[in-house]
Structure 1
C-alpha cells in the first residue's frame, strides 16, 4: 500500500517594491543593496513563495532593478509566485483618516495594497520603508487587522535568520509590537 503525502504549502511573503528597487547584483557593495539582494536570495533558497497582487506586481515592474527582474523570472520558473486578487478593504482604508499627518495618510493610502495583499496570504511583508512601518504601527490600536502582520526590513540583522527559519510567527516583528 502506497502512502499519499500532501505537499506542505510554502509560507507566502509580500515583498515591497522598495526591495526590488534596491536589490543589487553580486558586485553591489552598498549595505542596502546587498541586504535586499541577500533577502531575495534567501527567499528563493528556502522555498518561500512570493505573493503578488496586481498592484504589487505593477509597482515591482515600475521600480525593479535588473537583479530583481531576473530573480522574479526565476521565481516564476520555480513556480514560487502566488498571484492573489485583492479587493479594496474600504473600511480599513477609511481608518487612515485617523493618522494626524497628511503626509502619513498619503503614504499609507499609496501603499495600502501591501496590507491588502498580506491579509490574503500569511501576513508577512518585507519592506525597506521604515516610515510606512511607523505610520501603520500607529494605526494598530484602531485597526485590529494590522496587529498580526509581520513587517521586517531586510537591513535588520534578524531578517535573514527569519527568512531562513521559514518566516515563523515572531511577535517582535508584528506591527502591533513595533508600535510600542
Structure 2
C-alpha cells in the first residue's frame, strides 16, 4: 500500500522529500513491484496526485503492475481502533490511516508512507488492535530502514521496521 502523501509529494520539484518519493515510485517500476490500492485509496490518489504521479500511474497500468483491491478488506480493525484507550487526537490519527494497515494485512504486509507518528501509535496499540501479523511501515525519507534503498533491495518485510503482530 502506498499512502496518498507519497503520491502528492512525488513531484518534479527539487526537494529532498519530493526526490525520495519520486525515486521510490520509479523503483517500483524498475523492480516490477506491484501496487495494490483500495478503491477509496485510488479515488484519493486521483484527487491528490502530482503530474509526475499521474504519469507514473499510467505507466504502472500499462505494465500491469497495479490493480484496485475490491472489495475493500474489513477485519474489524477500524472498530477496534475506536475502542483503543488513548487520547482523541491519537485515535483520530490512527483512524485516518487505519485503512493502510487494513489493506496491507490483506495483501503484502507493506505500507509506504511519509507518516511516522502513526506508526508508533499502531506499535503501541498492536495488542489491543489484534494485528494478525507484522506489517512493514517504511518511509522513503526515513533512515530506519532507508526507504528507497529498502525497496531497491527487494522490499523484504523481514528486514523492515514493522508494526508487530498483536494477536
TM-score of the aligned structures, taking structure 2 as reference length:
0.88
Partner residue, 2:63: 78
Partner residue, 1:17: 4
Partner residue, 1:135: 121
- 1:23–1:65 Cα contact (<8 Å) kept: yes
What does 1:1-180 correspond to in 2, within 5 Å?
14-25=1-12, 28-85=13-70, 86-90=72-76, 92-96=77-81, 97-145=83-131, 147-157=133-143, 158-176=146-164
- 1:146–1:175 Cα contact (<8 Å) kept: no
- 2:37–2:67 Cα contact (<8 Å) kept: yes
TM-score of the aligned structures, taking structure 1 as reference length:
0.82
Partner secondary structure for residue 35 of structure 2: strand
Measured after TM superposition, the shift of residue 176 of structure 1 is 2.5
Distance 1:146-1:68 versus aligned 2 partners, 3 A rule? farther
Partner secondary structure for residue 150 of structure 1: strand
- 2:135–2:157 Cα contact (<8 Å) kept: no
